């Protein structure tokens, strides 16, 4: 099968299309013919070792010291079940599915085996494969963070970086959960973000949300420039900072901040469950969450897709079309 692989860390050009063995199906697994995947910020960071602040020394320990441990990137996918392994009853050949491989990656390929009991669900009928492939990275991340942050109906939420794949998911899911949503983005994305359901949109080139005197119950930082020291004055009593793109110090200081009792900082990897991906499918099927697509590239142009993500200017998700 064809797959986009890389054997060394570096710029987008380290990614190459190669023929690799089709994975072998085992008991309890499904073989998926992948129709679409995405290049996410997670793929960019793993490929380039561009870690959040303070995590640089740990990159090679996690992903491979001298070379990438997983040569095929891609955490999201959508496709069709090609075959099922022994004991699988939840899926059948021909089912349209989407799945989230998370840190295991491996989805920038024509085929992938996936545990039938894992983060996989039937594709909502109202979404294309390209749209369904873009559901998981942002959607699963925010379902996990909002659960950890105990987001309640009627609370005031600010989303910093509302036009990316995670931020656009945060706006839509928070709105669905009954929150009053303020979104922060650049001037070219104001109308996009307003269309996602934000009650108020702040253009960060005109207004600094940390100095305007408004407080929020929950602040979601998907950019990495809103640490606790900067935003604590914008958090209401018992407010929570969801440091989706938090640095090492956010993680280190979180317990001490919580002990003081006024605020909480929730950092570290998003904790996701099988129930989350099923919930995500329901939200998408009901129209509460539709992923924003920046551009769709064929697999043959995946290097260009990496460049687009690395530019920092994408809106929503960059999708890679793999099979027709």
Q: Which residues of the chain have pLDDT under 50?
A: none
Parallel, antiparallel or unpaired: strands 111-115 and 96-100: unpaired
Which residues are paired to 78 by β-bridges? 36, 98
pLDDT in tens, 189-204: 999 999 999 999 999 9
Per-residue confidence (pLDDT) for residue 291, from 0 to 100: 98
**Which positions ≥6 away from 294 have C-beta within 8 Å?**
308, 314, 315, 316, 317, 318, 319
pLDDT in tens, 45-102: 999 988 776 666 777 877 888 899 999 999 999 999 999 999 999 999 999 999 999 9
Helix (H) or strand (E) segment spanning residue 7: none
User: How far from 36 is each of 26, 44, 230, 238, CA to CA, in Å?
Assistant: 23, 18, 39, 41
Return the DSSP state at 157. Answer: E
Per-residue confidence (pLDDT) for residue 195, from 0 to 100: 98
> Backbone phi, then psi, for 22, in 5-degree steps?
-70, 135
Spell out the alpha helix ranges (H) of 66-221: 129-133, 136-148, 165-176, 190-195
Per-residue confidence (pLDDT) for residue 246, from 0 to 100: 76
Instruction: Say if CB 138 and CB 159 are below 8 A apart.
Output: no
193/186 Cα distance (integer angstroms): 10
State the pTM of this model. 0.93
Spell out the alpha helix ranges (H) of 165-301: 165-176, 190-195, 228-231, 248-260, 274-285
Per-residue confidence (pLDDT) for residue 71, from 0 to 100: 97
Instruction: Say if CB 283 and CB 138 are below 8 A apart.
Output: no
63/70 Cα distance (integer angstroms): 7
Which tokens hold the place of 178?
A: 């009954």
Terminal alpha carbon distance of the chain: 15
CA dihedral 305, 108, 36, 120 (to 10 degrees): -130
Collapse the DSSP code of 238 into the 3-class scheme (helix H, G, I; strand E, B; otherwise coil) and give the result: strand
Instruction: Say if CB 92 and CB 81 are below 8 A apart.
Output: yes
232/265 Cα distance (integer angstroms): 10
User: How far from 251 is each of 211, 247, 257, 271, CA to CA, in Å?
Assistant: 24, 7, 10, 15
Domains in the chain, start-ordered, CATH in brackets? 2-135+291-321 (3.90.180.10), 138-266 (3.40.50.720)
């Amino acid at each position: 099968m064809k797959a986009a692989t890389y054997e060394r860390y570096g710029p987008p050009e380290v990614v190459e299309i190669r023929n690799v063995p089709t994975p072998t199906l085992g008991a309890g697994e499904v073989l998926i013919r992948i129709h679409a995947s995405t290049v996410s910020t997670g793929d960019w960071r793993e490929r380039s070792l561009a870690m959040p602040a303070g995590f640089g020394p740990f990159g090679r320990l996690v992903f491979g010291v001298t070379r990438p441990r997983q040569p095929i990137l891609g955490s999201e996918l959508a496709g069709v079940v090609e075959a099922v392994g022994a004991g699988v009853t939840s899926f059948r050949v021909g089912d349209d599915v989407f799945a989230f491989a998370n840190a295991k990656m491996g989805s920038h390929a024509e085929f992938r085996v996936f545990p039938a009991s894992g983060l996989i669900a039937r594709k909502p009928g109202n979404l294309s494969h390209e749209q369904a492939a873009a559901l998981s990275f942002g959607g699963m991340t925010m379902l996990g963070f909002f659960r950890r942050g105990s987001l309640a109906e009627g609370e005031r939420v600010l989303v910093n970086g509302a036009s990316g794949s995670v931020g656009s998911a945060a706006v839509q899911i928070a709105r669905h959960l009954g929150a009053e949503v303020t979104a922060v983005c650049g001037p070219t994305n104001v109308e996009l973000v307003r269309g996602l359901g934000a009650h108020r949109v702040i253009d960060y080139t005109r207004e600094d949300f940390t100095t305007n005197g408004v407080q929020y119950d929950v602040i979601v930082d998907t950019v990495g420039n809103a640490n606790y020291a900067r935003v604590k004055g914008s958090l209401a009593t018992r407010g929570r900072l969801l440091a989706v793109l938090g640095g090492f110090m956010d993680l280190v200081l979180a317990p001490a901040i919580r002990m003081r009792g006024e605020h909480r900082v929730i950092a570290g990897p998003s904790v996701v469950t099988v129930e989350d991906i099923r919930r995500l499918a329901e939200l998408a099927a009901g129209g509460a969450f539709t992923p924003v697509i920046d551009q769709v590239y064929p697999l043959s142009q995946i290097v260009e897709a990496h460049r687009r993500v690395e530019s920092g200017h994408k809106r929503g998700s960059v999708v890679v079309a793999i099979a027709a």
